[in-house]
Amino acid sequence: MFRYIVQPGDTVLRIAKMFHLHGDAIYTANPHISSANHLSPGLVLSIPTPEPQQYCIQQGDTMMGIARMFGVPVNRIMALNPYLNPQALLPGQLVTIPPGMSGRIVEANEEYGPRQLVRDLGRLKALYPFLEIGEYGSSVLGQPLCYIRLGTGKRRIHVNAAFHANEWITSLVAMTCIEDLARALSLGETYRGFEPEALLRRCQLVVAPMVNPDGVELAQQGVTPSHPYYESLLKWNRYSPRFFRWKSNIRGVDLNDQFPAHWEEECARRGTEGPGPRDYPGTAPLSEPEAAAIAELARREQFDVVLALHTQGQEIYWNYRDMEPPGTEQLAARLGMVSGYRPVKLTGSDAGYKDWFIQEFRRPGFTIEAGYGVNPLPLSQFADIYDEMAPLLLEVMTAE
């Protein structure tokens, strides 16, 4: 065991990832902390040291092959085995193998926030220079609103995620799709049975992986007295320090109730008096910079179809006041078939991004309610959600 002092922005899963541990190992070693509370900077945690493995060298082994086998870099193996000559491995020798890593850039083993997003965007760009990565605006607190473009085709498909703060698992889904497509494209491999090169010659993906970075950060980390909205946030959250269920942006505005699509009717329906964790549409349509920026991105790019990723319910909302173009219901049925989700013709809902997109452009727009349970969905659901979302995205990419 050794001691670690919690830093601002730390969570149990982020600390666990740092030391290549499972989150449960941190909880077991520190019975004074709970998953129901945010970690306070300055708190001292005990970190259990992960146990290395022992491997017996076989005839024909190479150091690079061993590194690939265990998913760790050669230099980390050599650091634990300085006596080894990597050019002359001897069968029967024992090698100490450090705890492994996945070899991925985007990993679903920690809360995914704005810092993790910016870190991964830089790594993806370095590894896959054909990705276009940029900013389409900034949040209330000045954090970048980032986009990724992949593909060169004429048909433009837009995917956005994490409109709602506690639905940040959708950012992981979007980023994992991008990484897997980019890797398959660079290696000339297939992606779930499809040739990405052919797909990306006929269409392009423009992904906004985290529409609400300020809110995501609040939902994951809570708030400290140094935060510029500290007093207001506590008041809006009924003086509870627990922000796990927070959906809104940092000013307490629900970004998916911010669009000029019968906004006044949505305000009357919600009946929410002021800022809070959810359902407050704001003082006017597009009053929040995050909503205004994503709307301007759609106007500039003229998307042919949009997918807004939310959680939860395993449903697909595809209509808006009969303004959707012909064929939308049929496409929704196809998306339902490949994902296992239920297409729903929604009524009594206005002012959402999908609603506005259909009204503004008369093109197909879909809200995808991924996963099932209570938000925020646990990372244990990620693999299942990704297995549902990947074929859904491919179906949109192959549609006419």
The alpha carbon torsion through 322, 327, 329, 330 (nearest 10 deg) reads 170
Considering only residues 62 and 246, tell me which one the structure prediction assigns the higher pLDDT: 246
Residue corresponding to tokens 């493995």: 53
pLDDT tens digits, one per residue of 278-321: 999 999 999 999 999 999 999 999 999 999 999 999 999 999 99
Question: HSE-up of 378 (CA within 13 Å, CB side)?
Answer: 5
For residue 183, count CB atoms less than 10 angstroms from its CB and return exposed for 0-12, middle for 13-18, buried for 19 or more: middle
Provide CATH code, domain 2-47.
Answer: 3.10.350.10
Tell me the CATH number of domain 53-97, given options 1.20.120.1200, 3.30.160.20, 3.10.350.10, 3.60.15.10: 3.10.350.10
Tell me what the mean pLDDT of segment 383-393 comes to.
97
Q: Which residue intervals of the chain bear CATH 3.40.630.10?
A: 114-215+286-398
pLDDT tens digits, one per residue of 262-282: 999 999 999 999 999 999 999
Q: Is 369 a catalytic residue?
A: yes
Architecture of domain 114-215+286-398: 3-Layer(aba) Sandwich (3.40)
Q: Which residue intervals of the chain bear CATH 3.10.350.10?
A: 2-47, 53-97
Query: How far is C-alpha 182 from the geometric centre of its chain's CA atoms?
Result: 16
pLDDT above 80 for 359 = yes
Structure tokens given for 118: 């910016």
Among residues 135, 369, 395, 400, which one is catalytic? 369
